[in-house]
Amino acid sequence: MRWGIAVSLVFVLAGLFMPAACSADPSWALISTEVLEGTGKYTDQDVLQLFYDPDPLKNFAYWKTPAEHLFFNPSAEIGLDYAGLDAFHLINEMYYFSTEVDVMYGGVLYTDQDLLTWNGVTLGKESTFDTINGLLGDDYGLDAVCFTDGTWVFSTEVGGEFETERGMMGFTDGDVLVFNDEGKLDVFPLFDYFGRNVGLDALHAYHEGGESENDEEYVQIIMSTEVDGQVYDPKNRTYLDFNNEDILTLSLHRDGESWVLDSAEVPWLGVPKMGRDVGLDALYIGPEIPEPATMLLVSVGLGALALRLRRKR
């Protein structure tokens, strides 16, 4: 795949389809919030499951939260002391997550930069992220993570730099970092699309094309930010307001060695049923049918976005 000098080896997400290829509504999503108190019975270390429930009588979709649907809590299931929760991902029956603070469990110290694994019996660490920690050096924390087709896509709590074949590479807590199956770490910067660093708390990324010289290449980034702000939507030539519990989508295409923003949307306004700004720390988009091809087609995961994309076709 061709990703250019500036972002070589970034987002090697072969096999993923752009959400524009979505042919069915999403099924469910997992989230965690930023606040400890004030969300009713839930805390910032709970993973909540939201179910998609479109209303055919209206021209938009929404999410509903069952009153008793708590998907995961590291204290309740594993026995950890309060740890918070910064990232969450699900692969088959394995839970991947990061904590807000360092924790001690079974005589082992786990840091907030480790990607922890839980199979229902044993707590461990993802070995790939041990390697990433070694490449980064210091403890940068881990704010968001997504895995697809052999590639880890993630963000950190603070910025820094690491060494590459092209020299030292800088990054911020608002950039997307990628560690691919060739053992290379690289940066996809988002500063230019917001005009400032807005942080990055939750993340999914989708890629299409670029397999040949004449094959157009597209990327879509689904994310939440650490602060409120604005993003410019070039398609509609307007600025969109967002806050730190909204979901943003950035659709880009590759032009030579650069990435051009085609459109920006804010399809998810706030966390349903919470009644206040609770922030958003982690997001996992779940398919209804767990076959790989179907998962890719239905895992856009944002009801309003799925409907908008379908109307565009």
Domain contains 7: no
Residue 2 lies in a domain: no
Q: Answer whether 221's CB lies under 8 Å from 203's CB.
A: yes
Assign residue 199 a region: left if phi > 0, alpha if psi is -120 to 50, beta otherwise?
A: left
Q: Radius of gyration over alpha carbons of the chain, in Å?
A: 19
| CB 155, CB 144: distance < 8 Å | yes
Q: What is the torsional sign of CA 206, 261, 87, 301?
A: negative
Name the one residue in this structure whose structure tokens are 């094959």.
215
**Residue 273 located in a structural domain:** yes
In-domain check, residue 3: no
Per the structure, how many domains does the chain have? 1
Cα 272 → chain centroid = 18
Predicted confidence pLDDT, tens digits, the chain (313 residues): 333 322 322 222 222 223 333 323 456 788 888 766 544 577 888 888 877 766 655 545 566 766 667 889 998 899 888 888 889 999 888 999 999 888 999 999 998 889 999 999 999 999 888 888 778 877 788 999 988 766 788 999 888 888 888 788 889 999 988 887 778 888 888 998 999 999 998 887 777 776 666 778 787 888 889 899 999 999 999 999 998 888 888 998 888 878 899 999 987 776 655 656 667 788 887 764 333 222 222 233 333 333 333 333 3
The answer as to whether 10 is a domain residue is no
Q: Distance (Å, rounded) from C-alpha 218 to C-alpha 1?
A: 12
Domain holding 24, by residue range, is: 19-312
8 within some domain: no
Residue 1 forms part of a structural domain: no
Would you say residue 289 lies in a domain?
A: yes
